[in-house]
Structure 1
Amino acid sequence: MDDVEINLKLASLGCLNDSVAGEDYIADYILYRLNKSHLYTYVKTLNLSSPTNNISQISQHIGEIIEKKWNSVDPVNCYKIFINQFRMGFFGKICFDDLSNVIQLNQLNDYLLSYPDNINLILLLSNNTTR
């Protein structure tokens, strides 16, 4: 993984200033990751006819909706809307990190991850490891 992808992950999550990373790049990366993970909730949320790999098409679609209310549309604002919808969780949950090695090495405790009632045990374990 290179620095560009790390920066796009961080920017997608709001850890970097959007204008520094570029709203169009952030939106395109989010769309790429949603499609790669087969998370097509954005299609229904944005009332699109089908999934797409083209962030410009999504931006244009958002722009058409905005244009009905306001006369002018800034494409950057359309990207911002898409990014904010993602950050608010409207497109579903996604993990940008590759956990395949962790899962293969059986380093995740499925019992603790599957049962939120065990929060006290999780807190106890985390307190013991943070000394």
Structure 2
Amino acid sequence: MKLQRVLQNASTFREVFDFGGREVAHWFPGHMAKGLRQMKASLRKVDCVIEIHDARISCDVGPNPLFQESLNIRPHLLILNKMDLADSSSQQRILRGLKKDGVRNVLFTSCVQHNDENLKKVVPLVTDMIGSGPRFHREEEWDFCLMVIGVPNVGKSSLINALRRIHLKKGRASKVGGEPGITRAVLNRIQICERPRMYLLDTPGVLPPKIESVETGMKLALCGTILDHLVGEDVMADYLLFTLNRLGQFSYVDKYSLGEPSDDIHDVLKRIAVKLGKTKRVRALTGVGDVTVMMPNYSAAAYDFIRAFRRGELGKVVLD
């Protein structure tokens, strides 16, 4: 009976999200432009480019068009990271789509998990890729130099630290964080392996100067790639609710003790705020004068809802 009620409710949910005429949020600050110039200048020293995407939005966000030419002429490994947060049943569908686009070398990883077997495949695969092609005017050098690229907050620095842990038994050499923009410049070469001797350039996350689709921008924002305030946590929370319902992913109901799924973000945030005790004092004018009342803090509830998704607490999801 409960499942039947859920299905009945879901049948009335929105099929299309209304973005209300919003424009795409552009986030291409000065450090990104500077970082991109540094990256392009460093390419002459690079034998292979490792591109990292968030596996939850792997099909929606393609290579930065400003870097496409470099990907075409150098060995290129695509890593789809954060698989611990993504629906693993989507892997074959994603691979088929990438194969149609001509992308052959792909690994799914979870850099935060110490026992991820795919991380151990990175160095052998890259070694094989470089060995089968030219060294780009570096034939006299025996060490390998790689560059890792990607949009902000997809795990570039985490990959470097994980590879150092696996091959050098050393701690992290690159700063990581949960907000976009931690790495601000192309760093010096960081060694990740001794045999073969391999170095990797950490780079700042760089978004395309123009994001073509509002929906793509929303997915980027939900995954922490664009600063929340540039998009608005209220609309991000609403789009997240719409997406979870569309995918039939109702874990949020149990997490916040809602009883049943809902398509009304105002109602969901109100109940989240009450459950978590997130309220604020508001002065209201009544017939007896000004009084202070406690109201749900919708912004705080939206903040918690979005971060629960980013931590994987609302289920494993692919947003594509």
The interval holding the TM-score normalised by the smaller chain is 0.5 to 0.7
Mapping for residues 1-131 of structure 1, pairs under 5 Å: 3-67=213-277, 72=281, 73-97=296-320
- Aligned residue type for 2:317: I
One-letter amino acid matched to 2:226: L
Letter paired with 1:96: L
Structure 1 residues not aligned, in runs of 5+: 98-131
TM-score, length of structure 2 as denominator length? 0.28
Specify the SS of the correspondent of 1:38: coil
Cα distance in structure 1, aligned partners of 2:238 and 2:215? 12
1:76-103 superposed Cα distances (whole Å, 9 cap, x missing partner): 1110010011111111011111xxxxxx
Greater per-residue helix proportion: 1
**Taking every aligned residue pair, what percent have the same amino acid on both sides?**
32
- The Cα of 1:71 is off from its aligned counterpart by 5.6
Please give the TM-score of this superposition, normalised by the length of structure 1.
0.67
Of Structure 1 and Structure 2, the greater strand share is in 2
3-state secondary structure, aligned to 2:230? helix
CA distance in 1, matches of 2:280, 2:267: 19
By how many angstroms is 1:65 displaced?
A: 2.1
Tell me by how many angstroms 1:38 deviates: 0.3
* Number of equivalent positions: 96
CA distance, structure 2, for counterparts of residue 90 and residue 61 of structure 1: 17
Distance in 2 of aligned mates of 1:70 and 1:33: 26
Letter in 2 for 1:53: D
Q: Distance in 1 between matches of 2:280 and 2:268?
A: 19
Give the Cα separation in 2 of the matches to 1:52 and 1:74.
19
Q: Alpha carbons of 1:15 and 1:52: their partners in 2 closer, same or farther (altered >3 Å)? A: same
Write the deviation string for residues 27-65 of structure 1: whole angstroms up to 9, x where unpaired.
Answer: 111111110000011101110110011111111011112
Partners of 2:317 and 2:276 in 1: how far apart?
Answer: 27
Of the two, which has the highest radius of gyration? 2
| 1:70 Cα deviation from its structure 2 partner | 6.0
Residues 74, 89 of structure 1: CA spacing in aligned structure 2 closer, same or farther, 3 A cutoff? same
Question: CA–CA distance in 1 between the matches of 2:214 and 2:260?
Answer: 29
What letter corresponds to residue 303 of structure 2 in structure 1? K
In structure 1, what is the Cα distance between the partners aligned to 2:236 and 2:264? 13
- SS of 2:248's equivalent? coil
